[in-house]
Each structure stands twice: as structure tokens, then as C-alpha cells.
Amino acid sequence: MAQAYIYMECPVSGQTLTLGKLTIQSGVGTFQYSPDAVQENIWVPDPFRYPLSARSYSVTKNGGVPGFIDDAMPDGWGERLLHRVEKGPLDSIQLLLKSPNGDRAGTIMAGAVRVPQDGLGQTPPKVLQARGLDHFIDACEAIYDNQLSAEQLEVLKVRDQRSSAGGARPKRTYLFDKKLILAKPRDKFDHYDLPSVEHACMTFAGLKGLQAANTSLYRSERINTLLVERFDRIFEERTGRFRRLPMLSGLTLLDAEWKARSHPDWQYAALADELYRRGAPDQDRRELYRRMAYNGDSTCTWTPIPRILGQ
């Protein structure tokens, strides 16, 4: 039976603590909060589907991983890097344990021991320096071509960037002016300059009043790279480090399957109902409607439901 301890940077106290333990057997997961978490009545990520309790929760969707933990799992690009480094199949617990805590989305982290070590999830600033952006672009192409050695991965720090930021496209986090910036270079299989199009769409959305992330475009001699400011981190002057902000994806709010063949439950109306049920401000539902209308008006073919919401 595979297991992992789940940690959390508490948004109330700022401390990193043990939230609970996840075990998975034959695709069915069991999550249980730690006794200390229950006794201290701490803040929890998903109090509607996983209210704080001493009971065990059985999880049958998404390979046995609760949604609020799945949001912190490696995304498609992160899985690609892990498989490239480990050279073999990995189950959900292995993916969770072998991905770095510093780059996970939101406040959730994981480890093999009950008590998190000091400084867990804090990435050294040197690793995040933007000077390696051109090298990262080269590394992405080498990874696709299976030409990058483990030693090269270590030199370029790619093995520390198994992102959970969403999507299958190459990405890496960099530090610039006390902000964490997600770099997304053009994919070698793109039929057009997608970073430029995405930058234009997000800029236009911001001009029209939507709460879009700040973006810019890095132009190199060969390809363009989209730079997006991460919304789940904020620099704290008092401590000199980045605080994690909690988030839940749209699919977690919908309690939906990520990898099902069809997605009948991926509905904007259901997401609006879930926001209302959870007591979200009316402005959040208005924002959701504006995004839905914008996507339809700009004839986007992708759905924003998987990852759109912070808490």
C-alpha cells in the first residue's frame, strides 16, 4: 500500500504543518487528517467535501487522489520530466513524492515522513534566476527529442521544476523583482506562435476588465516565450520569502474526473452553482460569466474550467 504524508502551509498562521496522510491501494485512496490537525481545528483546503474530522475519507476518482491534493500534483509537463528522469512508470504516490514541493500550486506539499522538515517548499533564489531562460528553451527541445542526460537536467535545474501549474506545455518558474514568473516557451509541435497569441488574449482580457494574470513576451532569436506572473505566491517583506496562497481548481470544485473520456460534468452552470453553495462573493460568479462570454466571443476552443480559481 503506497502512502504519502500531506503537508500544508497554513494560510492563517503561515506555518507548515502535517495536514494528513494519503494511502492508495488498487486505485482507491484513503485520506485521513492528522490527529493534531483535528485537535487544533485548523483551516482546511476543502471543508465541503473533506470537512475536518477524525474519520477516513474513501476516494475513488482520479486514481484515489482527493481533488485538493490532485491540484498540487505534477501537470502533463511535470509528468513528462519525471518519466524522463526516472525512466519508468510511476504511480500517483510516486508522482506526488518525486515532484518538488517548492513549485507546487497552492499551499499543499507532500513527503514520506510524518513531520515536515524546516524550510520545506522554499526554493533557493539562485535556482530561480532568469539568466537560464535561453538554456531552458534549449532543454525543452532536447527533452522532446530524448537527447538530454540526467547530468544536463541537473545543470539546468530542470529536474527541480516538475510543475503543477497546469497543462502539458513546457514551463518553469523564475524569480524577478520579488515576483515569481512562469515561463512557457513555444512548443516545438505548435503550428503557430502560441505564446504571442496567449499574451495578446490575456492582455485584451485585462483591458476589458477581466482579472487576468500579468503577462509579457520574451523574444529570443528562435522562439517566443510567454511570461506569466504566478497568482498563488506573494512576497512577504517581513520574512523575505514567498507566502503560498490557497487555490482549488474548477474541476476540484466540480468533483470531476480529470482523465475521463467524456466530460458531461464540466459545466459553467454547475461551477456557478458550486461557487454559490460555498458562499463565494457574487463578484466571483460575475467574473466566471465574463470569462465564459469572453471565451465564446474570442472563439477559444479550450475550456478554462480545469484551473481558474484561487481562494
Query: Which of 233, 260, 278 finishes a domain?
Result: 233
> Does 117 reside within a domain?
no
Using the Cα atoms of residue 252, residue 258, residue 261 and residue 267 in order, give the sign of their dihedral: positive
The pLDDT of residue 260 is 79
Q: Is residue 118 part of a domain?
A: no
- Assess whether 98 and 48 both reside in one domain: yes
Residue in this structure with the C-alpha cell 474519520, named with its chain if needed: 55
Q: Are residues 101 and 178 in the same domain?
A: no
Determine, yes or no, domain membership for 261.
yes
Domain shared by 191 and 139, yes or no: yes
Q: Give the per-residue pLDDT at 300.
A: 52
Among residues 274, 232, 272, the alpha carbon closest in space to that of 255 is found at 274
Instruction: Please report, for the domain that includes residue 131, its CATH number.
Output: 3.30.200.120
Please indicate, yes or no, if residue 243 is contained in any of the structural domains: no
For the segment 89-123, what is each residue's pLDDT rounded down to a tens digit?
899 999 999 988 988 999 999 999 999 999 898 87
Domain boundary pick from 111, 133, 149: 111
Least confident range of 8-12, 186-190, 219-223, 305-309: 305-309
- CA–CA gap between residue 83 and residue 95 (Å, rounded): 9
Query: How confident is residue 130, by pLDDT bands cut at 50, 70 and 90?
Result: low
Nearest to 216 by CA among 190, 167, 251, 181: 181
Residues 34 and 131 in one domain: no
Q: Are residues 311 and 252 in the same domain?
A: yes
Assigned domain for 239 exists: no
**Whether residues 131 and 220 fall in one domain:** yes
* pTM for the structure as a whole: 0.86
Boundary-marking domain end, from 198, 233, 268: 233
Evaluate whether residue 120 is within a structural domain: no
Model pLDDT, residue 307: 46
Q: 19 with 56, same domain?
A: yes
Does residue 79 sit within a domain? yes
pLDDT, tens digit, 9 for 90 and up, residues 273-303: 999 999 999 999 999 999 988 888 776 554 5
Provide the number of structural domains found in the chain: 3
DSSP 221: S
Torsion on CA atoms 85, 229, 116, 119, rounded to nearest 10? 100
Give me the domain span that covers residue 95. Answer: 2-111
pLDDT digits (tens, 9 = 90+) for 31-49: 999 999 999 999 999 999 9
Shared domain check, 190 and 91: no
In a domain, 262, yes or no: yes
* Residue 257 burial by Cβ neighbours in a 10 Å radius (0-12, 13-18, 19+): middle
Same domain, 7 and 36: yes
Q: Are residues 149 and 75 in the same domain?
A: no
